[in-house]
Structures are given as C-alpha cells and as structure tokens.
A and B are shown apart, each in its own frame.
Chain A
Amino acid sequence: GNSVTQMEGPVTLSEEAFLTINCTYTATGYPSLFWYVQYPGEGLQLLLKATKADDKGSNKGFEATYRKETTSFHLEKGSVQVSDSAVYFCALRGSGNTGKLIFGQGTTLQVKP
C-alpha cells in the first residue's frame, strides 16, 4: 500500500541556517505530494504541493521537488526563522481514489535565535 517516511526529529537549527527535511514515499501510479505544517495550537495548513514528476512546489521560502526516480519530496529552506518552528508533515494522495491523504509521522523543527 501507499506510505510516507520522514526523517525523525526533532531538528534544532539556529536562525538563518539551511533546512532539509527528508521525505520518501511508496505508491502505485502517480500520486500527488504535499507538505503540511502545524504551528503550535493551530490546525494543519497546506505549505506546498506538487502533482507530477519534476514539479517544484514552493511557498514562504520553502521548496520541494517531486523526484520520481528516487521517490522523494524533500523539504528545503535556505534561511530559517524562529517563526518557522512547527511540526512538518509530508503526505501523498494516490491517483484515482477518494482524495484521502497518507501522512508521514511528522518532523518537529525548532529554530533558536
């Protein structure tokens, strides 16, 4: 079945450091891939998405490229801020289904001033 694996956290960085959170997936067909973010006390929010191979999703300085050859969708940001501290979830939506999302276990990011 479809699944998503994320690097374990927590990830602790200093402000302005470079961020990578690894995500790999297993899926049949051509899934769509997503990164969701959960800030403390808030609901999950869509951060970015990519719907086909080689697409790059980007938002708020974050980027992720859909790599079918390595079944990966790693999240990157060139310079993190304290306000980026949150839990990040990689997710996929399989092709041809009801639209349910399969999530990874989440990676906690803590950015220190």
Chain B
Amino acid sequence: GAGVSQSPRYKVAKRGQDVALRCDPISGHVSLFWYQQALGQGPEFLTYFQNEAQLDKSGLPSDRFFAERPEGSVSTLKIQRTQQEDSAVYLCASSKTETVTNEKLFFGSGTQLSVL
C-alpha cells in the first residue's frame, strides 16, 4: 500500500478485556517496529521484527503484551487483561531493509487505545 496502515484507529476496552491491534506495513518492508505513546510523551519502543522473526522484545512492559508477524508482513499486537495504564496510542513503523541503522522509518497514524 501507499503507507503503513493501522486498525482500528480507535479502540475502547473495558478493564480486563483482551485487545488486538493490527499493522499493515508498506509492502515488501522487512523491518517492523511497535511503539507505545502515552499522552504528552514521546513514543517508547516495544518490539522489533525482521521479517517473521521477533529480534527484540525488550520494550514490552509485561507478559500481557504479545506481538506476532507470522508471515513477515502484517503484524498484530495483543494485549491481554487490559489495565488503565495501557491507555496510549500504539504506533507501528516499517523500513525497507534489515539494515535499519540509518534507514528512514515510515510510521502509521496509530491506534488510540482507551481502557475504562
């Protein structure tokens, strides 16, 4: 597609519910990142995929957070038993190759999650 697409754009969940957030990266992009952006803050790294391999998940805040990219394209971030502190905008970004050091990242518009 033309850019990184994320869905849903907005998600409201009751505390304790499970949610799944989807990211469609730019077609053919090898690297995919998930970030969490709390209100008024900068994005914080959650996890990184190179094709289907999850190479870095050091930013996932708890074992309630799980991400996958089974076929090396679409990725899903799942949050189990959501808590109020999970309320944030979740951003997905992709880049063309695996050598990401100086490559441009393309960001989606994000999914705004509100946990009531």
Total interface residues on B, CB under 8 Å, equals 29
Total interface residues on A, CB under 8 Å, equals 24
Q: A41-B109, A42-B109, A43-B3 are in contact. Are A104 and B42 (CB under 8 A)?
A: yes
Choice from A43, A49, A89, A103 contacting B108 with Cβ under 8 Å? A43
Choice from A41, A44, A93, A95 contacting B43 with Cβ under 8 Å? A44
Contact at A43–B4, with CB atoms within 8 Å?
Answer: yes
Q: Which residues of A line the B interface, CB within 8 A?
A: 4, 32, 36, 41-46, 49, 51, 89, 91, 93, 95, 98-106
Could you jot down 28 A-B contacts, CB within 8 Å? A41-B109, A43-B3, A43-B4, A43-B107, A43-B108, A44-B93, A44-B107, A46-B105, A51-B102, A89-B42, A91-B42, A93-B100, A93-B101, A93-B102, A98-B48, A98-B55, A98-B100, A99-B31, A99-B48, A99-B95, A100-B33, A100-B45, A100-B59, A101-B43, A101-B105, A102-B45, A106-B40, A106-B42
Q: Which residues of B line the A interface, CB within 8 A?
A: 3-4, 31, 33, 35, 40-45, 48, 55-56, 59, 91, 93, 95, 100-110
